[in-house]
Every structure is written in C-alpha cells, then in structure tokens.
Amino acid sequence: MPTPLLRSLSRPWTVVAAAFALAVSLLVAVPANGAGAATGCRVDYTVNEWSGGYTAQVRVTNLGAALSGWRLTWTYDGDQHITSAWNANVTQTGQSVTATDAGWNGALPSGGTAEFGLQGTWRSADPVPADFALNGVSCGGDGTTPPTTPPTTPPTTPPPATCGDAVLCADFEDQSGQVPSGNWQVTAPDCQGTGTVAVDTAVAHSGSRSLRVDGRAGYCNHAFAAATADLSTTGPVLYIRMWVRHTTALPAAHVAFVSMPDSSQGGRALRIGGQNGALQWNRESDDATLPAQSPAGVALSRPLPTGSWQCLRFAVDTSAPGLDTWLNDEQVPGLHADGVPTQDVDQQWLSRTTPPRPTALRLGWESYGTGDDTLWFDDVAVGSSPIGC
C-alpha cells in the first residue's frame, strides 16, 4: 500500500458483499489516419466487479493533437451489458461499445484527459477490454493484452502495523474501570441521548479490553469517547488506523462513528460514518459527503461488514484538500479525493478548497434518525507516518 495519498456502479443503493478492483492501462503512440484523429492515446480502465454486475471508471488521455470532440470505442470479449453511464454518452450494439463526449467535456488538448463511468451486468465472463480506440485510432496497437484477473499480491507493501512514533496509540489495556478514563473521556459533543460508552473486557481485537459504544437511533443522539491527545500539529498528512467491529449494517440514514473537530471548520467536525448502506465522509460545516450520495458515488464506496473486526485506515492531508481511505488494506475508490473533481463522486467534497486540520479524535456513534448499533474499537493509532493493519 503506497504511503502517500493516492488518486485513482454496484447496483444503486445496495450493499456490495464482495467486490474487487482491477485496473489496466494501455499506452501506445500510432500514426494519425485522418483529420481530427488522435496520434496516440492511453486508456485506464478500472473495474469494480461482483457476481453478476460491475462498474467501471474510464480515463482516456489524448497523446496526439488537440481534439474538439472525442469518441472512444471498444469491444467486450465477455457477455457484459451496459445499463447506465455518466459523464459520457455510451451506446452498445452486441459486444461493441461507443462512448462520446458529453459536450461540456469534449475539448481534449494534447496531454489532456477525460473521465467517465459506467455500470453493467454480466453472467459468465467479465474480462477487461483490450481494443480501445480514440477517434478511430487504436490505443492498443502494440498488441498488449491486459490481465483479466486481479493480481495475486498487492502492488506495494502495506505500511507496518506498529505505532512507531504515533501521537496516539491505544489498545485500551491501561483502562481499569468500566468508564473510559485517563487518555479517554466520555463526551457528547453536540447533544446527548441514550447512547453509552464503556470499556469492555468480553470483546477485544487484541489483549483483553476494547472500547464499546452502544449507539442509539434518534435525531442528534451522540455518545463518544474522546482522546485527550492533541492532533493539531500532527502531519502534514494525518494517518489514522483503527480496528472496528459493529453489529448492525449501516442504515440508509446518515450516521457517524468517528468525529474529529476541525479547526478549518471553526471546530465543527470532520466525520466518518455511513449513509445509504455504505461508508462515507461527512463535513459538518456544509454537510458535504464523500462520495456524493448519488448511485454512481455510493456504488464506489463499500459497506462496513458486520460481526467481525475490520481494519480502517485514513490519510487526511492538512496541506491540500485530499484524503484517502482503506478497508482491510484495500483502497476504497469512492472515499478518495486528490483535488481533481469527478462529477457525482467527489465534486461536492472538493467544492471547499480549504484543507482540513483535525485537532482531536472521537470514537462513538451519532445518529440523525434510524440506526441503533453496537460497536467496538481497538488498536487505535494516529501519527504523521502511515500505520498499517
């Protein structure tokens, strides 16, 4: 897993139980064969697949002369069928697919890129296409055949799981009573309800103790344990690692289980939680979400599995409006922002250009409607260097 920030539809509004990401890049420069044709192109095709369905993000780079309009074509070798698309006009006849610009993104200068997404179904096979062509000129003229199965090993080594010089490193083994004390204090930052926070000796990821939160539904029902560690100078990238176990699937309504007061928002919270059944970031000052709560955006996130310990890692850039998220060392595409807006995904989030500056960490539960849940947190760490699972 890379240490710096990285850049990169399951069925709308449903939980994707098993998904994987497969990326392929084809790069070749070939002679132009007519006016307005490209002299070279690169296509990055990233697919998220599950049984019977898939989504794909397609990024095309023009390596030739400037284009005033573009048309990308390819052929599926499997039985994929496109059901919807965004940021391009996409049509399919048999196995042949044509994507044309949406008008507003038709200008493609030399070296420029355009991105669009699509959603589809498949039954027997979903191989990655290999014969992309931009305005009639092949992007794969060198005969490169992309891989059709995900790599068996991650492309990079995940960071170490040890705390190292982390500002905060908590396994809760120093807690002696049922009520969090010492480096952790119970709090309800905005409004208090019936939720509770306690030290649990029956369930733990490691050792014999964890932090247990019994979250309750109802508007503005907050129950958190706040770490006393000051994070205001940690960075420039703030790395957070935690193990979390929860009981009930994330609801359709907005909930949060991590809350960080953010000085760039005047102390309002930078929040991690869920909505529409999937993980999301939420910014309290303007209620912006990452990903956007559209079918395209939600499909690029992931549900938080229940009944087992899950490793969540975050990287929050305090010098630029960028952040990244990993679930069990797999980057979550919809929870990634690198400063380049993508419509229906991170465009709303990046509308605010002031970088976040979290000053503290709170773990718990806040609800704005439905959503009872019982959660446990363990092996929490925050520092200026990446911390693995």
The stretches of the chain forming alpha helices (DSSP H) are 295-299
pLDDT of 43-61, one tens digit each?
999 887 777 778 888 999 9
Helix (H) or strand (E) holding 242: strand 237-246
Question: Domain of 366: which CATH number?
Answer: 2.60.120.200
Q: Which residue, 138, 160, 184, sits at the end of a domain? A: 138
3-state secondary structure of 104: coil
One domain, residues 89 and 47: yes
Question: Domain of 79: which CATH number?
Answer: 2.60.40.290
One domain, residues 184 and 224: yes
**Has residue 200 been placed in a domain?**
yes
Chain Cα centroid distance, residue 353:
19
One domain, residues 104 and 237: no
pLDDT above 80 (res 215): yes
Domains identified in the chain, total number: 2
One domain, residues 290 and 364: yes
Kindly state the average pLDDT of the residues 316-336.
Answer: 90
pLDDT of 22-35, one tens digit each?
333 333 333 322 22
User: What pTM value is reported for the model?
Assistant: 0.63
- The domain of 110 spans 20-138
**Has residue 268 been placed in a domain?**
yes
One domain, residues 101 and 184: no
One domain, residues 199 and 133: no
Q: Determine the pLDDT at residue 121.
A: 84
**Has residue 325 been placed in a domain?**
yes
**Has residue 2 been placed in a domain?**
no
- Residue 298 has φ and ψ, to the nearest 5°, of -60, -35
Tokens of 349: 């989030």
pLDDT above 70 (res 18): no
One domain, residues 287 and 240: yes
Residue 260 CB-density burial (10 A; 0-12 exposed, 13-18 middle, 19+ buried):
buried
Say which residue the tokens 């060392």 belong to.
329
